[in-house]
Amino acid sequence: MKQVKEGDVVKVHYTGKLVNGEQFDSSVGREPLEFTVGAGQMIKGFDDAMPGMNLGEKKTINIAPEDAYGPRSEEAIIEFPKENVPADMVLEPGMPLTLSNQAGQPVPVIVIEVKDDVIILDANHFLAGQELIFDIELVEIAE
């Protein structure tokens, strides 16, 4: 039986959960996820789980934060000048926003606090600092 090796293009169905059982993503009901094993397209822990899997195999993996989205970083808590926000925009803690970095790429942030002159934003990935659990089913190894 053919096993996955680094460099293979694979298709998988997956369900991602937090340790408390809360589901944050799943391919169920959609097309399977396609990626090249070892190419850095996936978080490290997911990529590392693929080599040696057989077609049709299912497994559950736990991924530590350092092999997923990393630890939460205090450097990702930023103060954003309130004057740079449209005057008619009502901001509330917990509200998601999207900023642009110097290269013009979108950066999702969450409003933590609204002060008189600045807005405190969290630019950490929403899964940073979390241990992740994935149920994976290998559905295709491309020829």
The domain limits of the chain are 9-70+127-141, 74-122
Sign of CA dihedral 75, 76, 77, 81: positive
Cα separation, 69 vs 85, in Å, equals: 29
pLDDT classification of 28: cutoffs 50, 70, 90? very high
Task: Note the maximum CA span of the chain.
Answer: 64
Q: Which CATH number fits domain 9-70+127-141: 3.20.20.70, 3.90.79.10, 3.10.50.40, 3.30.450.20?
A: 3.10.50.40
Relative to beta strand 106-114, strand 77-81 is unpaired
* Residue 1 confidence (pLDDT) above 80: no
pTM beyond cutoff 0.85 = no
